Amino acid sequence: MAFGESQKPLTHSYGLRKEALSPVETLAQSISAVCPTLTPVFTLPLAFALAGNATWLAYLFATGGTLLVAWCISRFSRYCASPGSLYSFVDMVLPPWLSTVMGWSLLLAYLGGTASSIGGFYYYTNALLRNDGGREIPVLLLAAIVTGVPLWLAWRSIKISARIMLAIEAASVSVVCFVLALVLWRHGFHGDPDQLHLRGTTPGGFRQGLVLAMYSFAGFDGATAMGAEARNPLKSIPRAVLQTAIFCGLFFTLCGYVEVLGARMAGQDLGTANLPMHALAAVGGIPALGFVIDIGALFALFAGTLACITAASRLLLVLAHKGLAHDSMKATHPSNETPTAALLAAGIAVFLPVIVLAAIGTSGLDVYGWFGAIGTYGFTVSYALVCYALPGFLRERHGQTTLATTIVPWLAFAAMIGVLLSNLYPVPEGVYGKLPYLFLAYLGAVLILFAFRSRAKIPEPEQP
């Protein structure tokens, strides 16, 4: 692993294609992992049901917390670039057992994000078809499409994958922003008193809405998995992480304000609206844009599947090289230079549980929510450990001890712990109340396996 400010880090490529991605294509990996189009369509109405007129403020606070974590990640990625993503950062500082917990938490996060996107895709596709004419497509076929096509693209070429993700997200977010602008134009550029004065907001509802708002940012670190494939990674990756946090924060906060405003103008309750962007498009005077956004959301779920499974395969590849996954996961395609075995394993790991749940009658919306929650736990633990490890990394390896490098990581660590604890108390109802304990059981299993398997110490050759 390389350190220092050199723009040619001595990073082991692990058989991946070196310097294949431009800075914009590297940014696409982080943006697509977040799936910003899904927040106004899915997540924001749920946040409104909790935070009410303070939804925009919840997203503003969530942006602040995410920026603290993004700052910590960007500091690490100025010195280190690896396809092992955040795991490679903490592996240099934390004890082996704790870095192992981090690596497998992050892997679960990426796999959970992938499975969540698959569930959301087949649910939303059939919901739109039912709304249009009562037809449905078999869940197995839809799940196979949204798993198989991204897998093929991720195997075929990282550059093609990045460009497709970038095009999808740019188009869908642009349409959403256009609708938001139309709503503001129709309303007039004056404030909404109910939102500006936070009318009807309760402290408990705001806190729960804030936790949900944090979920919208999960995966913003996706560019860090491109450590071997990004061009000029010590510059492009930290920039991509910070730019994603800033862009998504502004976009989500704007959506939080305008979507609540537009629903009120349409005479609807945003918290119970089935197709909230349809109402906003109607208020804006172009109802057809609601359907366009629906299609954009479907493609965003596709891009999210592609981004998360790409990151998961890179991490699994590095874990195998570290002796923490089966040796077969080390294989890369000789001409495509993509992690063939790791991609296949990741695809199977997300496809099978989704299909089993669908076969027993579980709604795609539940699949989206359950796996999304599991993935968020993994991201939260990973982000917390990165922030915890940063001061020691800078102090011990680079002799840096400043007020910022001391205070910011601890603030970010506290924010992530707060998010994690908020999922444990008050205890959520139904399946969501059991998911935190399922996640803890997973971490327990990881520690048990680690205790029975000595960690392989494989030297990383310097690249010319």
φ/ψ of 268, rounded to 5, equals -115, 155
Instruction: State residue 454's pLDDT score.
Output: 54
Q: Is the pLDDT confidence value at 460 over 70?
A: no
CA distance 221 to 241: 6
Of the pLDDT bands very low, low, confident and very high (cuts 50, 70, 90), residue 208 is: confident
> Tens of pLDDT along 272-307?
877 788 889 999 999 999 889 989 989 999 999 999
The dihedral built from the CA positions of residue 149, 167, 58 and 187, taken in this order, carries a sign that is negative
Instruction: Evaluate if residue 446 carries a pLDDT over 80.
Output: yes
> Residue 275's pLDDT is what?
79
Per-residue pLDDT averaged across 27-47, rounded?
A: 92
Mean pLDDT value of segment 69-96: 92
**pTM for this entry:** 0.91
Residue 463 has a pLDDT of: 41
Reply yes or no on whether the pLDDT at 7 is more than 50.
Answer: no
Whether pLDDT at 80 is above 50: yes
Average pLDDT rounded to a whole number, residues 90-116: 94
When the pLDDT of each residue in the chain is averaged and rounded to a whole number, the result is: 89
Q: What is the pLDDT of residue 111?
A: 96
pLDDT in tens, 176-203: 999 999 999 998 878 899 999 999 999 8
**Nearest residue to 255 via CA among 26, 31, 88, 47:** 47
pLDDT at 114 over 90: yes
pLDDT (0 to 100) of residue 424: 76
Q: Which helix (H) or strand (E) covers residue 58, if one does?
A: helix 55-77
CB burial string 360-397: b at 16+ within 10 A, e below? eebebebbbbbbbbbbbbbbbbbbbbbbbbbbebbeee
**What pLDDT sits at residue 3?**
36
In this predicted structure, what is the pLDDT of residue 11? 56
User: How many other CB atoms sit within 10 Å of the CB of residue 222?
Assistant: 30
- Whether the per-residue pLDDT at 56 is higher than 90: the answer is yes
- Give the pLDDT of residue 430: 85
- Report the C-alpha gap between 428 and 257 in whole angstroms: 27
Per-residue pLDDT of 339-380, as tens digits, reads 999 999 999 999 999 999 999 999 998 999 899 999 999 999
pLDDT(428) > 90: no
Does residue 329 surpass a pLDDT of 90? Answer: yes
Q: Rounded to an integer, what distance in angstroms lies between the CA atom of residue 18 and that of residue 4?
A: 19
Contact criterion met (CB below 8 Å) for 248 and 37: no
Instruction: Provide the β-strand partners of residue 230.
Output: 21
Asked whether the predicted pLDDT for residue 464 surpasses 50, the reply is no
- Residue 366's pLDDT is 92
